[in-house]
Amino acid sequence: MLAKARQLFSLPAKAIGIQNLLRLTQNKLILPFYHTVSDSPLPHIAPLYRHKTIREFKNDLEFLLKNFQPVSLQDVDLHIKGVKEITKPSFHLSFDDGLQEIYSTVLPVLKEKGIPATLFVNPAFVDNKRLFFRHKAALLIDKLEKKGFHRISTPKDNKAKEWEQLILTAQYHQETRLDELGILLEVDFNEYLEKKHPYLSIGELKRLSLNGVEIGAHSIDHPEYQYISLDEQLRQTKESMSWVKEHFNPKVNAFSFPFTDFGVGNKFFEILENDINYPVLFFGTAGHKTELNANHLQRIPIETSTKNASSVIASEMLSSLLKKGIGKSVITRTA
């Protein structure tokens, strides 16, 4: 296996072909995910990552539909429980953060192509009550660029990069730093929420749930779990799931970790597994990898570069083969 994986890894992923990779990995289910899709510039997103255009998104879906069959969150849940086997190569599509374009732009495409999906939301941002701290950072950088800060900086006096570093390294618990910079740079976060409505309303979420999009939890306000205590991890998870249950009564209780599940230990899962109020499917963002806990699934981020879904998924599957060959395909966690 190791020799075969190394031989394959020396070739471009696309040259091997998705169908060959599927046969080699023997994994019938993939979990691609996005945040948003738009043909318009999104100042609260652009400095953080490159989102897909509508045409790019449709091309991705055409590739997925050609090589995989779409399945619902319920299908995934039944497959994990051993009740309903997934026999053909399949995919379940999901989106994080509850951004407005999922209703205005993505839903019509999903309905046209008959693709079910799951949207993971942060209750603190629903109805545009608050702005995610990373979106604040993006708006600050956008303001610097519009002020021509990059153009007036010189290699010797590289203040633009210093400002960007200061902004982008701000963590969840340092949000007040971003608020103070907002005042300094005259960026009104509340005005942006009121005028641009970057997040979905509760009404839009309910309409999504009536049109084939399951609603899942994504923590209350999107902290990075490796930097918060176990008690806070549990609070963020339970309270966001309770909010979703109250408003949507989902068929499957699902939770996706904000940012990543790196740093989340086995104790977290043990506590929730023993709480009858929180039977869930967990979703991470680590790509085409496997967890010891069958209820914990890893998704493939598709917005990581200018590559299309075909290239990203092929690369992930090839990487998975190599790691399997060296005994590192299963994620291990601390106590």
For the chain, the domains span: 2-130+199-331, 134-192
> Is residue 36 classed exposed, middle or buried when 0-12, 13-18 and 19+ CB atoms within 10 A define those classes?
buried
pTM of the shown model: 0.91
The pLDDT value recorded for residue 224 is: 97
283 φ, ψ to 5°? -130, 130
Q: Which of 245, 31, 211, 227 shows the shortest CA–CA distance to 123?
A: 245
pLDDT of residue 18: 81
Of 126, 138, 288, nearest to 215 (Cα)?
Answer: 126
Residue 178: what pLDDT? 96
The predicted structure's pLDDT at residue 94: 98
How far is residue 318's CA from residue 12's CA, in Å, rounded to a whole number? 9
Neighbours of 86 (CB within 10 A): 17
- Average pLDDT per consecutive 10 residues, the chain (335 residues; last block may be shorter): 48 63 82 98 95 97 97 97 93 98 98 98 98 98 80 52 86 95 95 98 98 97 97 97 96 96 94 84 93 93 87 88 74 81
* CA–CA distance, 57 with 59 (Å, rounded to integer): 5
pLDDT for the residue 152: 42
CATH superfamily of 2-130+199-331: Glycoside hydrolase/deacetylase (3.20.20.370)
Q: What's the rounded Cα separation, in Å, for the pair 267 and 293?
A: 12
Q: Give CA–CA dist 217/30, Å, rounded.
A: 20
Is residue 50 within 8 A of residue 302, CB to CB? The reply is no
What is residue 320's predicted lDDT score, i.e. its pLDDT? 82
